[in-house]
Homo-oligomer: A and B are copies of this chain.
Amino acid sequence: MNFKTIEVKDKKLILLDQTVLPGKTVYNSYEDFRDVITAIKRLEVRGAPAIGIAAAYALALAVEIRADYDLNGLKKIMVDVAREIKDARPTAVNLAWAIDRCLAKSYQYEGESVDEYRTIFWNEADAIHAEDIEMCDAMGRFGAELIPDGSTVLTHCNAGALATGGIGTALAVFYKAAEMGKNIKVFADETRPLLQGARLTCWELMQAGIDVTLLTDNMAGYAMAQGKIDAVITGADRITQNGDVANKIGTYAVAVLAEKHNIPFYVAAPESTFDKELETGDDIIIEEREPDEVTNGFGIPTAPAGVKVFSPAFDITPHNLVTAYITDSGIRPGGRTK
């Protein structure tokens, strides 16, 4: 990778500003955790794993900035700071998870050194980051074995290095396949309404020198009918116990089309994405987004004022449309039988 989504230098958090991609490559450097909260809110950093890592570092920055606090004062204030950071995006599961993990670690500290206390947060954030890098690498290695040399693979949305601390989930497969010397081509759905495929997936694959072709979401079916697609790999926001997959809107349609054309449909996600609380996709509540993203997504109106809009943020792909799950602990078979 010739870019870094998240990096720490001299106790500063450096984020690649994804709101201005692909037009500009801007890195912002943060010393105040409140600015990181703002950055998370305005989607400068996005993708569940990347948000979790940025949040963990925000916590470390918060301890660091309070040079004049004694240990007890610091311990007290961190509870509020943690809540403040969690509120940046209340529905982001990884954010709360990362914050809770760092706090829990700090509660175990029984020493009396402010410096040692501070180091706990930096180390825990580094650990979360390092583990994410390792998970991405593992998914990439396992997934790359599934993709024959010379394949063209369709992906949807952005499940890449820009969404994680490492080389991504779905896109990790392409990076590892390329490393293994395989010649892989990627077709990227633009992914309306927010165009993460066009803006982010195309950008990061081009940065990595991987052959990528952009198409609008409604072209994927015809590309399959023409024999242009050998496999589909997407990420996942959440996977229920029976294997149903919640992911970016449009994933379900791609899975149906893949089945119709006998093209394998793979979901790449770390084990942590498998939700132990939810039995099936029916248990997942689908968030509806603001009409503006569809009607004014590009700064100009593209539909009549006041038109009604149906805009679910994600959809559910039933397990029987999934050929296999590519996880950090290996390949799990899916429920698709043909």
Within A170-206, the residues touching B (CB, 8 Å) are 187, 189-193, 195, 198-199, 202-203, 206
Q: Is A307 within 8 A of B217, CB to CB?
A: no
Q: Is B309 within 8 A of A298, CB to CB?
A: no
Stretch of A68-76, A85-93, A129-137, A219-227 that contacts chain B: A219-227
The CA-CA distance from A302 to B188 in the complex, in Å, is: 13
Within A282-305, the residues touching B (CB, 8 Å) are 294-295, 297-305
Q: Is A206 within 8 A of B307, CB to CB?
A: yes
The CA-CA distance from A254 to B257 in the complex, in Å, is: 10
- Minimal beta-carbon separation of A301 from chain B (angstroms): 6
Interface status of A150 (Cβ within 8 A of chain B): no
Query: Do A302 and B195 contact each other (CB < 8 Å), given the known contacts A212-B307, A218-B218, A308-B212?
Result: yes
- Minimal beta-carbon separation of A24 from chain B (angstroms): 11
* Partner of A253 from B195, B228, B253 at Cβ < 8 Å: B253
Interface status of A216 (Cβ within 8 A of chain B): yes
Interface status of A333 (Cβ within 8 A of chain B): no
- Minimal beta-carbon separation of A40 from chain B (angstroms): 23
* Partner of A193 from B189, B212, B216 at Cβ < 8 Å: B216
Which of chain B's residues have a CB closer than 8 A to the CB of A107? none
* Partner of A311 from B212, B216, B257, B308 at Cβ < 8 Å: B216
Interface status of A64 (Cβ within 8 A of chain B): no
Q: What class of interface size applies to chain A in its complex with B?
A: 35 or more
Q: Is B300 within 8 A of A299, CB to CB?
A: yes
Interface status of A249 (Cβ within 8 A of chain B): yes
- Minimal beta-carbon separation of A27 from chain B (angstroms): 17
Q: Is B295 within 8 A of A298, CB to CB?
A: no
Interface status of A312 (Cβ within 8 A of chain B): yes
Q: Is A192 within 8 A of B216, CB to CB?
A: yes
Q: Is B202 within 8 A of A307, CB to CB?
A: yes
Chain B residue nearest to A303 in the complex (CB): B198
Q: Is B214 within 8 A of A303, CB to CB?
A: yes
Chain B residue nearest to A255 in the complex (CB): B221
Q: Is A221 within 8 A of B190, CB to CB?
A: no
- Minimal beta-carbon separation of A281 from chain B (angstroms): 10
The CA-CA distance from A35 to B107 in the complex, in Å, is: 78
Query: 19 A-B Cβ contacts within 8 A?
Result: A22-B301, A22-B303, A192-B216, A202-B307, A206-B306, A213-B308, A213-B310, A214-B294, A215-B311, A216-B294, A216-B311, A221-B252, A221-B253, A222-B249, A222-B253, A222-B312, A253-B253, A253-B257, A297-B298
A-B interface, 6 closest residue pairs, ranked by CB to CB distance from nearest: A218-B250, A221-B253, A298-B298, A217-B218, A192-B216, A222-B315
